[in-house]
Structure 1
Amino acid sequence: MFSARQVLGSVVGLTAAVAGVGAVAMPTAGATTAEVVAISEIQGTGTTSPLDGQTVTTSGIVTAAYPSGGFFGFYLQTPGTGGSLDLGSHQASDALFVYQPRSAGAVTVEPGDAVTVTGEVGEYAGLTQVTVPAAGDIVTDGTGSIEPVVSAWPATDAQKESLEGMLFTPQGDITVSNTYGVENYGELGLAHGDHPLLQPTEVARPGSDEAAAVEADNAARAIVLDDGSSTTLRPPTSRTIPYVSNTSPVVVGASVDFRGPVIFSEGGSPSAPTYRLQPTQVATADPATWPVDFENVRTEAPDERKIGRRADVKIASFNVLNYFTTLGDADDDNVGDGGCTAYKDRDGDGNNVSGGCDQRGAWDPADFERQQSKIVSAINALDADVVGLMEIENSARLGETPDEAPRSLVAALNEAAGSQVWTANPSSDELPDASGSDVITSAIIYKRSAVRPLGKARALGTQSGDDQAFGNAREPIGQVFKPTVGGAPFFFVVNHFKSKGSPGPWPGDGDTGDGQGASNESRVRQATALVEWVSAIKTETGLADVALVGDFNSYTQEDPMQVLYQAGYADSETLSGNEEYSYSFSGLSGSLDHVLLNRHAQRRFTGSDIWNINSGESLLLEYSRYNYTGADLHTDSPFRSSDHDPVVVGLKRNGG
C-alpha cells in the first residue's frame, strides 16, 4: 500500500499522464519548494485541513475559474475523481479552492487546464484553500477533464464536507426556498425535494419530536445557490443583482433545473459558513448567465379550481403592508413631515418611512402611487367579494378623517375597475378612542353587487387596556353580511394579533425557543378573548356562521391557533389540504394568515387558495426598494405588493 505522498512523488508527471500530455519540468522561476501532497490529504476527513498553515505542492484539473467577481481564484480537482460516488464510503474531498490574490496576478487559468500549484493551506469561511503567493507558483502543464460527482443527496455535514470543492451534478427535485439573500450577496436559498423548507410549528406542535424532525429535515435539505462572486450587493447600489427578474421570475416554491454541473462548496460569513453551490462562472442579472432554469410558478389570479366553482361568495384576508395615505413627505421635497426619516434609494431620495413619526409606509406621492398600484392590481385580481385588510392606516389616530385610508383605497380600486365595484365598510362605534390605538388598524371592504351588510359594524373594544388582551394588538372588527343572491348571513371578523418580534407584558411572553417567538402568551389571550366575544355576539343575534380572517401572527400548529380549533373553528387550508403557505421568514415557509370557519360555516365551504404573489417574491420588487439597484424592477403587477400572501375562501349561500 502506497501513501498519497508516495503516489504523488512526481506530481507533474501524474498530472500530465492523466491529462494526456507530455511531462514538463517542475516550476522554477518564483516557485517555492514544498512537499508534494494529494488534494485529498490536504482536505482530510474533518471540517478543517490537517495541513492548515503548511506550504504544499499539489495538482489537478481546473473545474471553475473566476477572473472577476472578487473570488480571485479557481477550483482544482484531482484527475480521475468524480463520477458516481457512494457517500457512505467517500471520506475526503478530492478538490479545493486555489486563492490567487491580486499580488499574484490576474486569474488566467480556465476550466480544463491541468495545473500544479504551490502555496499555503488555509481555511476561509469553512472552505479549504491553498493560497499562492506569486504567479510563478501556478504552472499549467496540459489539459484534462473532470467527471461531475453523481450521488445521493448529501444530507449530513460529513457528507457535504466530503464533497467540498468538487464538481457536482445535483440529483432529484430541487426547490427555491428563500429569495431574501439575493439582495445582499447574490445568495439564493434552495431545498432538496419538491417543497421549500418549512417552519416546524407550521406542521407540528411546538417543542414536539415532530417539530424537531422538521428542523432536522430542513438542515438536511438546505443548500445555498451562490453567484460565483464575493461582491457585496447590499442596496442601495448601482450594481444589478442576480436571481431577480420579472421576465424570468425566481419565486419560493419554484422547481430548479440545473443546466450543467456546479461546484459543491462552502462559504459565506467566516463566523457562520454554509454549504453552497457555486456556478462555474459568475452569475449576473442576465438570466443567460445563471447556472439554472427556474419554473415560473406565478399565476395571474387565484386558482378557481381550488376555491371551488360552486362558491356563491368569496371572502379573503390580505395584509397590505402599511398602506398609509398620510405620507412621510407629502410635499415630495425629500424633507420629512413631523420628524419623519426615510429609507433612501441609491440617489438619496426617500422611498419609505424609517421612523421619527407616527407614519409608516410610503415616503412621498410617487412612492405611494407605486405602492398603491400594486395593491390595487392584487385586490382586483383577487376577485373576492369581502376582503379583510390588515396594516392599513388608522386615519383617526393620525388626526385624519376616520376611514380615510380604506376609502382612498376603495376609490383607487373603483377607478381601476372602471365602475363603483367596491365599498369601504364604516368603522365600528364600539372601538375605543383612537388616541389610545395603534397607528395601523384593520378594515373591511366589499363588493356591493355580491353582499350587503346587515346592521352596524362590530368591534371588540372593551379589551384594549394595558392589562387586557388587546392592549398590545389591533382590536378585532366584524360585520354581518348576507349574499345578494340569497342565503344565510355570516359574521366576518378581521384580526391582527400581536407580532412575534417583541415580548408583551404577560409572564409567558418571552421567547422560550420553542419556535413560537415572543408574545405567545399575548396571542393566546387574544385568541381566547376573540372566541368569547364572538360567542356572545352569536348568542345575542342568533347568527350561525362565522368566519375569522386575518394575520394571527401564529403558524398553523401554534398555541393561539389551538385555542381557536378547540372552540370549533377549522383553518381553510386544513379543510382544503392544499399545503400552501402565506409567509416566508428566514428561508422557512409557513402561514401566519388564516381564514377559519366555525362548525356551521364549514358546511358552506367550497375550497380555498393562498395566492402566492408576495411572500416568495424578492424584496427588491417591492415599492420600498424602487431605484435600489442598477435595474428598474418596478411593475404595477400584484407581485410583491406586500410581504404576506392573500388567502381566498369560497362559500355557498347556505350550508348543507
Structure 2
Amino acid sequence: MQGTGAVSPLQGQTVTVEGVVTADWREGGFNGFVLQDPAGDPADGASDAVFVWGNRARAEIGQSVRVTGAVSEYNGLTEITVDALEVLPASLGEVAPVTDWAAIATPEGKEAHESELVLLNDQLTVTDNYDANYYGTFTLAYGDEPLRQPTADIDPHDTAAIAAATADNTARSILLDDAKSTNYNTASNRSIPFAYLTPETPVSVGSHVDFVQPFVLDYRYDAWSLQPTTPVTGDGSAHVTFSDVRAANAAREDVGGDLAIATFNVLNYFPTTAEEYVELGLGSCTTYNDRDGNPISANDCGDTGPRGAATTESFERQETKIVNAISALDASIVSLEEIENSAHFGKDRDFAVATLVAALNEKDGAGVWAYAPSPAAVPASEDVIRNAFIYRTADVERVGESVILTDEPAFSNARQPLFQAFKAVGADDADAFLVAANHFKSKGSGTDDGTGQGNANPDRVAQAPALVAFTAEVQAATGIEPVFLAGDFNAYAAEDPARVIEAGGYTNLNYALNGGEATYNYDGLNGSLDHVFANAEALELVTGVDVWQINAQEQIAFEYSRYNYNATLLYDESVFRASDHNPIVVGLDLPEQEQPEEPGQPGTHPGQGHGVDKGDGHPGKGKGVDKGEDHPGKGWKKRV
C-alpha cells in the first residue's frame, strides 16, 4: 500500500489491510494507531506499516486487526482514515523492529520504513534539547558525539567542505518525540508536566540514548522522528533512558598552574530589574511571566532598558546560580560579558559588578573577591551591557588602571574591549600580564554577507583588527608583553573574525590545547563563540585549558528565566544552566617569586595560588600542555 515513493500509489482509494497494532496513540493528540504487517519484506523498498487515523482508530498494542478506509497523504505521512475495524481471532505474528541505523540513514531508507517499528542497536546522542521545553522533542545524532557547527572547524569560504559537513549533519540527525501534539509552553498546557524532563533526568546535550522499547519511525511536522509506542508521561524511562553527563562536569578539570583566568558570559546579569526600571519612571517594560502570571524576566524594556530579571525575587534566583558557578569555577581572574552597564540607569557605572562581587564575598568570605574599577575615560556612547573584571585578591592584584577602547567606529554596535593588567600577589610589576574582556557584535541582527557566518559578520570582521591594533597600543603604553584576549566574540573558531585575530599573532587556546570544546549550542550544533587568545609571550605561561560544560548543553527550562513555567519545576540553585554560554578557564604558570628562606630550609618555595608546590615542578597537570616541550598546534588549523 505504501509503495516505494514518497506518495502512496493508492492515494484516494479505499483499501482493506491487515496487520499487528504496534503503537496506540489514541491519547495525546495523534488520534490513531500504527499497523504493521509482520510478514512484510524489509528489503523491498516499500514500508510494511501505516498510520491509522480517526475516531474509530481504537485498538490495543499487539492485537491483529483488519482495517478498511481511505488512503491519504497528510503533510508527508501516509495514513488510512478508518471506516471499519475488525479484531482478528488469530495472531498474524510478531513484528521484528529495524535494528540497524544504516537501514534508515538515507531519505530513501526512511521512506522504505515509514511507520515501522525501530529498535536501534547503534549509539545515538542528544544534540539538541531546546524544543523539549515546548514540544517534548529532542534532536539525536547518530554516533557518540553531538553535531558540530561547520564553521567551528571549517573555513566558511570553503563552500564545498561546508556543504559536505552540513549534509553529514542532516544525514546523522533524527528527532525523538513524545507521541503528543502538546505544546507545553502555552498557557493552557503549562499544568501538564514535561515529557522526559525531570529534576533527576535533565537530558543534557551529549547524553547517550538507550532505547528500552521499540519506537515508530514517523514523519510529521516536516521532520522524521522516533515516536514512542504510547505517549510519554514522566521521565519516559519505560521507553528510553539517557546517560548522565552532569556528574563528569560537577567540577571543572584541573588546568594546572599557579592561578587561572576565565571568561564567563553571565546572561544579562541586571541588578536593575524591569520592575525597578518602571518604578523609577525610566521607561516601560513588558515581561515574560510564569504560569501563575508572575513576572520572571524582561521581555521588552526598549534598547536601553534592562534585559535580565523582572523582579528582585527573580534576580536573586539568577544571581544565586551565577555566584555558585563563578565560585566553583575557581579562577583567579574572570572576564565578564553581558553584565549591566549601570550608568544607563542613573547609577555608578560599576554598580552591577560591585553587586556581583558583594554576593560572591557573602558566599566565599569577606574580601575574597574584588573588581577592576571602570576607567577614568569611557566611550561617549555605550551599550546597556558591558564587559568587566573580577578577581580573587589572594591570588592576583591589579597593575595600573583599566583602559577601554574609545572613539572606535567599529564598536559602535558592540561592547568596547576592556583591558586590565594583573600580576600574582607579591610579584614584580615586570611580571604583569594583560587581559582583555571582549564582546563582539552578535549574530542576532545586522547584515548577512552570505558567507554562512550569521548576521553582522562584516561588523565583527572590522572589530577584530581594531582590537588587535588597540592591544598593541596598550602594550606600548604599559610595556607589558603577555596578553590574553578573552570573551564572547560571537564568531566560531574558523570564521573570519577569529582568523583575523590569529593572523595578528594570537593562538586560540581552546583549539590549540583543548580540542575545541564547545562553549555554545545553537540549533543542535556545538561550537565555540567564546575564546581566549594568547600572544606568544602569554602562551608560554599557559599550563592547560578547559571549557566547563555546565550551561550550553543544559535544557533552558533549568534556567532562572523559566522558573515555574511548567508543572515540573526544574530550576535549582546548582551551577547548571547559570547562563547559556560555557566558561573557559586557562591555567597559568607564572614566574617564581623570591621567598624569604625559612630557617633550616634554604631554597624552598612553599607554593602560592591554588595549591601548586613550586619546588616540585609541574607534572603536566591540565589538558594537553607539557611545559617541557614546544606547544603543539599553535594557530588555527582546519580540523576534520
Matched, 1:319 2:265: yes
Give the SS at the match of 1:147: coil
Which of 204, 220, 229 is matched with 1:267 structurally? 220
Indicate conservation of the 8 Å contact 1:81/1:94, yes or no: yes
Match of 1:212 in 2: 163
Match of 1:9 in 2: none
Counterpart residue identity of residue 55, structure 1? T
- In 1, the alpha carbon distance for the partners of 2:40 and 2:9 equals 21
> What TM-score comes out, normalization by structure 2 length?
0.88
Query: CA 1:600 to 1:404, structure 2 compared with 1: closer, same or farther past 3 Å?
Result: same
Q: Which moved more, 1:296-305 or 1:484-493?
A: 296-305
Indicate conservation of the 8 Å contact 1:336/1:342, yes or no: no
What's the offset of the Cα at 1:110? 1.9
Match of 1:615 in 2: 552
- In 2, the alpha carbon distance for the partners of 1:398 and 1:181 equals 35
- In 1, the alpha carbon distance for the partners of 2:116 and 2:401 equals 67
Query: CA 1:530 to 1:62, structure 2 compared with 1: closer, same or farther past 3 Å?
Result: same
What's the offset of the Cα at 1:302? 4.1
Match of 1:148 in 2: 97
Indicate conservation of the 8 Å contact 2:206/2:245, yes or no: no
Counterpart residue identity of residue 121, structure 2? Q
Q: Which moved more, 1:635-644 or 1:323-332?
A: 323-332
- In 1, the alpha carbon distance for the partners of 2:88 and 2:322 equals 58
Indicate conservation of the 8 Å contact 1:69/1:228, yes or no: yes
Give the SS at the match of 1:137: strand
Deviations 1:300-359 (A, max 9, x none): 544334x2x3x11211111111110111113999x9973111111111111111113411
Give the SS at the match of 1:381: helix
Matched, 1:168 2:108: no
Counterpart residue identity of residue 520, structure 1? N
Q: Which moved more, 1:485-494 or 1:198-207?
A: 485-494
Counterpart residue identity of residue 444, structure 2? G
What's the offset of the Cα at 1:245? 2.3
Indicate conservation of the 8 Å contact 2:51/2:115, yes or no: yes
- In 2, the alpha carbon distance for the partners of 1:588 and 1:389 equals 24
Deviations 1:579-600 (A, max 9, x none): 4101111111111011111112
Q: Which moved more, 1:295-304 or 1:280-289?
A: 295-304
Match of 2:564 in 1: 627
Which of 48, 51, 61 is matched with 1:94 structurally? 48
Deviations 1:121-150 (A, max 9, x none): 1122321111113xx434344333211112
Matched, 1:372 2:313: no
Counterpart residue identity of residue 396, structure 1? A
Match of 1:473 in 2: 414
Matches within 5 A, 1:186-265: 186-208=136-158, 209-236=160-187, 237-265=190-218
Q: Which moved more, 1:54-63 or 1:471-480?
A: 54-63
Match of 1:482 in 2: 423
Counterpart residue identity of residue 438, structure 2? N
Matched, 1:645 2:582: yes
Deviations 1:534-583 (A, max 9, x none): 01222232212111110000011000001011011111111223341011
Matched, 1:456 2:409: no
Query: CA 1:112 to 1:485, structure 2 compared with 1: closer, same or farther past 3 Å?
Result: farther
Indicate conservation of the 8 Å contact 2:422/2:433, yes or no: yes
- In 2, the alpha carbon distance for the partners of 1:287 and 1:314 equals 41
Matched, 1:137 2:91: no
- In 2, the alpha carbon distance for the partners of 1:634 and 1:60 equals 45
- In 2, the alpha carbon distance for the partners of 1:97 and 1:472 equals 52
Indicate conservation of the 8 Å contact 1:62/1:112, yes or no: yes
Match of 2:636 in 1: none
Give the SS at the match of 2:417: strand
Counterpart residue identity of residue 50, structure 2? L
Match of 1:123 in 2: 73
Counterpart residue identity of residue 79, structure 1? P
Counterpart residue identity of residue 469, structure 1? A
- In 2, the alpha carbon distance for the partners of 1:141 and 1:441 equals 73
Matches within 5 A, 1:31-50: 42-50=1-9
Match of 1:59 in 2: 18
What's the offset of the Cα at 1:462? 2.5
Matched, 1:278 2:219: no
- In 1, the alpha carbon distance for the partners of 2:510 and 2:244 equals 24
- In 1, the alpha carbon distance for the partners of 2:242 and 2:122 equals 15
- In 2, the alpha carbon distance for the partners of 1:235 and 1:407 equals 38
Query: CA 1:341 to 1:482, structure 2 compared with 1: closer, same or farther past 3 Å?
Result: same
Match of 1:330 in 2: 276
> What TM-score comes out, normalization by structure 1 length?
0.86
Indicate conservation of the 8 Å contact 1:302/1:609, yes or no: no
Match of 2:243 in 1: 294
- In 1, the alpha carbon distance for the partners of 2:238 and 2:119 equals 17
Query: CA 1:580 to 1:647, structure 2 compared with 1: closer, same or farther past 3 Å?
Result: same
Match of 2:623 in 1: none
What are the ranges of 5 or more consecutive residues in structure 1 without an aligned counterpart?
Answer: 1-41, 504-509
- In 2, the alpha carbon distance for the partners of 1:207 and 1:62 equals 51
Give the SS at the match of 1:288: coil
Indicate conservation of the 8 Å contact 1:113/1:141, yes or no: no
Which of 518, 538, 541 is matched with 2:475 structurally? 538
Which of 373, 397, 404 is matched with 2:351 structurally? 404
Total equivalences in the alignment: 584
What's the offset of the Cα at 1:386? 0.5
Indicate conservation of the 8 Å contact 1:282/1:289, yes or no: no
- In 2, the alpha carbon distance for the partners of 1:429 and 1:77 equals 74
Counterpart residue identity of residue 419, structure 2? G
Matches within 5 A, 1:373-392: 373-392=320-339
Counterpart residue identity of residue 601, structure 1? A
What's the offset of the Cα at 1:246? 2.3
Query: CA 1:58 to 1:412, structure 2 compared with 1: closer, same or farther past 3 Å?
Result: same
What's the offset of the Cα at 1:298? 4.2
Indicate conservation of the 8 Å contact 1:248/1:287, yes or no: no
Match of 1:68 in 2: 27
Deviations 1:90-129 (A, max 9, x none): 4111111111x23x27x2x222111110111112232111
What's the offset of the Cα at 1:647? 0.9
Match of 1:17 in 2: none
Which of 499, 507, 519 is matched with 1:562 structurally? 499
Indicate conservation of the 8 Å contact 1:389/1:494, yes or no: yes
Counterpart residue identity of residue 112, structure 2? S
Indicate conservation of the 8 Å contact 1:164/1:264, yes or no: yes
Indicate conservation of the 8 Å contact 1:301/1:382, yes or no: no
Indicate conservation of the 8 Å contact 1:262/1:277, yes or no: yes
CA RMSD of aligned residues (A): 2.0
Indicate conservation of the 8 Å contact 2:213/2:238, yes or no: no
What's the offset of the Cα at 1:299? 4.0
Which of 426, 429, 440 is matched with 2:376 structurally? 429
Deviations 1:439-470 (A, max 9, x none): 1111110000111100000111121xxxx110
Match of 1:491 in 2: 434
- In 2, the alpha carbon distance for the partners of 1:336 and 1:641 equals 30
- In 2, the alpha carbon distance for the partners of 1:485 and 1:584 equals 41
Indicate conservation of the 8 Å contact 1:339/1:356, yes or no: yes
Matched, 1:348 2:290: no
- In 2, the alpha carbon distance for the partners of 1:515 and 1:523 equals 14
Report sequence identity in percent: 43
- In 1, the alpha carbon distance for the partners of 2:313 and 2:161 equals 48
Query: CA 1:169 to 1:485, structure 2 compared with 1: closer, same or farther past 3 Å?
Result: farther
Query: CA 1:122 to 1:624, structure 2 compared with 1: closer, same or farther past 3 Å?
Result: same
Deviations 1:629-654 (A, max 9, x none): 01221101111111111111111104
Matched, 1:419 2:373: no
Match of 2:514 in 1: 577
Query: CA 1:621 to 1:152, structure 2 compared with 1: closer, same or farther past 3 Å?
Result: closer
